[in-house]
């Protein structure tokens, strides 16, 4: 069985982070391994608190796994601290892990920082180890300094991130005006993935970036080409979001 490792934060509400990644790996028939960068206290709507793990502990989690399992793809999500990012860069330099999908997580949808100061630079330091980097518009702006808000600037940002050393870049257009378009640059050419805007509360879309990057990692772990991995991950994500929309609202428990 092919194996994918997620290095990300834990989301006890299950919609994002490690919990969502493992669910997606499983849905693709890929064995999931996980290394937790940070604990969070959240209810699916708001992140109430974040408790990062030390970079020493994070490395321990990963090196113990690498001794036992061969890892076909890696997904990186929330890092918690810049220190964790720096430690991962040193590890990738030493171990030469392949098929790294870097989801550049800086903050929750509600605006809570999911990485400390200096985090943006640490994330940038991981770009050269990535097969593919998957920023949204805001993250692409923070990484490149370009005001990314339309197709033209998405292409420009993809080229800039590619020149930082990633083999490929997927800029997610979920925050565009009108119908969303994701822009993939594979180092040679652009592909455009058009979608229809789904309606719903923020809760419905909690963890979409996590699930997309996990789906891409699962596809790469299975040996699929990049474009197919992106297409399959998008399709699976849309199916999950559609299902979420029809599920009756969870019963509230008064505490
Ligand atoms: O969607 C970004 C994200 C990633 N990882 C964890 C999160 C969130 C958003 O809340 O909680 C653990």
pLDDT tens-digit series, residues 214-235: 999 999 999 999 999 999 999 9
Residue 251 confidence class, pLDDT cut points 50, 70, 90: very low
Instruction: Look up the CATH superfamily of 3-254.
Output: Ribokinase (3.40.1190.20)
Q: With 0-12 CB in 10 A as exposed, 13-18 as middle and 19+ as buried, what is 201?
A: exposed
Q: Count of alpha carbons within 13 Å of 223, Cβ hemisphere only?
A: 2
**pLDDT score of 247 more than 90:** no
Distance CA(123)–CA(72), nearest Å, equals 22
**Is residue 66 over pLDDT 80?**
yes
| pLDDT-derived band at 250, boundaries 50, 70, 90 | very low
Q: Where are the domains of the chain?
A: 3-254
Percent of the chain with pLDDT over 90: 86
Q: Whose CA is nearest to atom 1 of ligand 1?
A: 207
Q: 136: how many CB neighbours lie within 10 A of its CB?
A: 22
Distance CA 115, CA 131 (A): 22
Q: How far apart are CA 219 and CA 212, in angstroms?
A: 11
Q: 78 C-alpha to center of ligand 1: Å? A: 6
> What tokens appear for 160 in the block?
């800039």
**Residue 231 φ/ψ, nearest 5 degrees:** -60, -50
Average pLDDT over the chain reads: 94
Q: What pLDDT is stored for residue 226 in this prediction?
A: 98
In the structure, which protein residues have their CB atom closer than 6 angstroms to any atom of ligand 1? 8-9, 11, 16-17, 40, 42, 47, 77-78, 105, 108, 114, 207, 209-210
Looking at residue 255, its pLDDT comes to: 42
| Ligand 1 pocket: which of 7, 8, 16 to mutate (most atoms within 8 A of CB) | 16
pLDDT in tens, 111-151: 999 999 889 999 999 999 999 999 999 999 999 999 999 99
* pLDDT given for residue 199 in this prediction: 85
């Amino acid at each position: 069985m092919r194996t994918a490792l997620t290095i990300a934060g834990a989301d006890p509400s299950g919609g994002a982070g490690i919990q969502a990644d493992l669910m997606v790996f499983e849905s693709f028939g890929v064995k999931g391994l996980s290394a937790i960068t940070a604990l969070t206290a959240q209810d699916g709507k708001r992140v109430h608190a974040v408790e990062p793990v030390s970079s020493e502990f994070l490395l321990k989690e990963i090196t113990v796994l690498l001794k036992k399992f061969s890892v076909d793809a890696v997904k990186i999500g929330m890092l918690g601290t810049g220190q964790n990012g720096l430690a991962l860069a040193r590890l990738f330099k030493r171990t030469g892990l392949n098929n790294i999908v870097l989801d550049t997580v800086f903050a929750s949808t509600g605006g809570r920082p999911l990485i400390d100061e200096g985090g943006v630079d640490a994330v940038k330091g991981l770009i050269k180890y990535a097969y593919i980097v998957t920023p949204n518009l805001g993250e692409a702006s923070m990484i490149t300094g370009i005001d990314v808000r339309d197709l033209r600037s998405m292409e420009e940002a993809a080229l800039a991130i590619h020149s930082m050393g990633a083999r490929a870049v997927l800029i997610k257009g979920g925050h565009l005006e009108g119908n969303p378009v994701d822009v993939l640059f594979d180092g040679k050419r652009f592909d455009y993935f058009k979608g229809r805007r789904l309606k719903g509360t923020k809760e419905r879309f909690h963890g979409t970036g996590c699930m997309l990057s996990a789906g891409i990692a699962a596809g790469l772990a299975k040996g699929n080409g990049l474009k197919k991995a992106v297409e399959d991950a998008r399709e699976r994500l849309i199916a999950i979001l559609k299902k979420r929309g029809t599920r009756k609202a969870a019963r509230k428990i008064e505490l």
